[in-house]
Structure 1
Amino acid sequence: MNQGFQSFLKQWYTTQPASNLLRQEKVLTEKALQNLFGYFLIQLGNAAPISFLNESRIKHKVLVDDAFDTKDPSFVGIKYVKADLDFLPIANESTDVVFMPHTLELAEDPYLLLRQVDSMLVPQGHVVITGFNPYGCAVLRFRAQSRNKWLRHAHLVRLRRLKEWLEVLGYDIKWQVHAPVYCFGKPGSEQPGLVMWFFKALEWCEKVLSKVGFDFGNIYCLVAQKRVDAPKLVGKRWHTPNWMSIAAKGVMPMQNRSRLPGFFQRVVCRLRRLKLFSFLTKKTCD
């Protein structure tokens, strides 16, 4: 686990340019978590100075991380487990929701971490993942600055690659969204009219380009559900042997092959009743 990058994000989010990104991420995560239910919610890693779990309706919330300040007032009511995120001490199929804020960007092997999360989740459980878009305009600008070496050398995971990993593990993508475009300042009513128009135009372009697969929002949020295929019960029909369908194709079953064919059998039986063919057995005309 890259503890240096995690410490950098906690300090970087307190600065003025990055605080706008944190505000956008909080809006996305609260919208994703407020409609997920269950008994246990586990957050893996903590790369922000605030808590994203306040809007969750799940009662039991647990934070798993290498280091954590237990006196932080924003994490009141949340249990803490100290553990290495590369080796999670969570039982199989014991968690309803797993929240991963930039956790894949901190992991040495992101796909291995996803496999551990898959074993933790119950059937039909959910995983919520947030991360930086490598092609976001603000992310590109911050990575180009020489003082942001941790952000410049970070292993950012594209949303399309993350969806491929989840589909291989058997997950259904329930919800995915990018934050609005933010490049050089926070769009708001306090900005001049020309600047406000510029950000409105950028947001409109982002919505148009997102329809053809291009997203320039700096933060993305994804919700996926664990799919478990159950066997389909068909009742008593599965006991029917395949050879029984042979009778429908014109081939007589084994017990009826000693009898004569239809029309000829009826003629012979009529003659027997007239005692013309008394040598025929009774079984022939049953």
Structure 2
Amino acid sequence: MDHPPIEKSIIALGPWLETPTGGYVRAWQQARLDELTADIFGFNAVQIGLPQIQALQANRMPNKWLTDTQMPGKVQSDRRAPIVVVHDFAELPFASQSLDLVVLPHVLEFAAEPHQVLREVERVLIPEGQVIICGFNPASLWGLRQVAGRLTGAHFMPQDGEFISVPRLKDWLKLLNMEVNRGHFGCYAPPCTTEKWLKRFAFMEKAGNRWWPYLGAVYMVHAFKRIRGMRLIGPVWTKQTATARQGVPATNKIHRQKNRNG
């Protein structure tokens, strides 16, 4: 049985996250995820893919799961949530409207059918459920480096990933009645491959947040599943019924009494 294309590509991203550049990305994402998930309440939360990122470690829901396309080849550290479900990301093995929170770390850009993945996420979320999506920003120095790597063959990141812009992602979410709460951008250093050079460009983190906030190499989008509320319909009121119920205005009563007495 052939495995879906997402497996090979997203598995390649895992080892990259263990490199100095990947560690730089992972540290920023971990800090933002801890901030976002700490105050999201409910009962059931799921992280889909990339066990290298501990997306739910700060969340306090009683039921938290990590799913992936395969079981880990080696024993995971105690700090990581165990993988409990192995599945195809385009077909989530959860009941409809059963999850309060879903986190997608770099799943969409490595998925063969990102729209289908989002449709599945919308299906399993409860009304007002939340989704957090992590991705690489094509409108950044890293995005340009990725394009150049495809042309020259000197790949900076796994080549199978297709970067999805934030406006494009927002359009997809809007079609699914998902309302974006806000977005976060980070990792403004140039696409360096060594920890030494990444530290030299650490000053660009604050400068980027202030002067070019939408050009960070990585983004995080936080959205809610909105359900259009039902409109309560009362009894049909005709004009005659309304007049009978309301009675004759006081001014009209006074005017009629004057005419009769006159």
TM-score, normalised relative to structure 1: 0.73
Match for 2:61: what amino acid? Answer: I
| Cα deviations by residue, 1:197-247 (Å, 9 ceiling, x for unpaired) | xx44x743553344xxxx11011001111111222447xxx3252333785
Match for 1:242: what amino acid? Answer: T
Structure 2 equivalent of residue 276 of structure 1: none
Counterpart pick for 1:89 among 88, 93, 106:
93
Q: Contact 2:68/2:83 (CA < 8 Å) preserved in 1?
A: no
Structure 2 equivalent of residue 282 of structure 1: none
Q: Does 1:208 align with 2:211?
A: yes
Deviation, 1:167, is 1.4
CA change 1:98–1:226 in 2 (3 A) is same
Q: Contact 1:60/1:78 (CA < 8 Å) preserved in 2?
A: no
Within a 5 Å distance, the mapping from 1:74-85 to structure 2 comes to 74=78, 76-78=80-82, 80-85=84-89
Alignment coverage as a number of residue pairs: 243
Structure 2 equivalent of residue 218 of structure 1: 217
| Cα deviations by residue, 1:124-170 (Å, 9 ceiling, x for unpaired) | 11001000001221343255332428634422111111111111211
Q: Contact 1:143/1:152 (CA < 8 Å) preserved in 2?
A: no
Match for 2:177: what amino acid? Answer: G
Q: Contact 1:143/1:149 (CA < 8 Å) preserved in 2?
A: no
Q: Does 1:243 align with 2:213?
A: no
Structure 2 equivalent of residue 230 of structure 1: 229
Q: Does 1:181 align with 2:188?
A: yes
Structure 2 equivalent of residue 61 of structure 1: 64
Q: Contact 1:118/1:226 (CA < 8 Å) preserved in 2?
A: yes
Match for 2:118: what amino acid? Answer: L
Deviation, 1:116, is 1.0
CA–CA separation in structure 2 for the residues paired with 1:135 and 1:74? 37
Structure 2 equivalent of residue 51 of structure 1: 54
CA change 1:151–1:56 in 2 (3 A) is same
Within a 5 Å distance, the mapping from 1:271-286 to structure 2 comes to none
Percent identity for Structure 1 against Structure 2: 24
Deviation, 1:74, is 4.7
Structure 2 equivalent of residue 71 of structure 1: 75
CA–CA separation in structure 2 for the residues paired with 1:20 and 1:114? 27
Larger Rg: 1
CA change 1:112–1:21 in 2 (3 A) is same
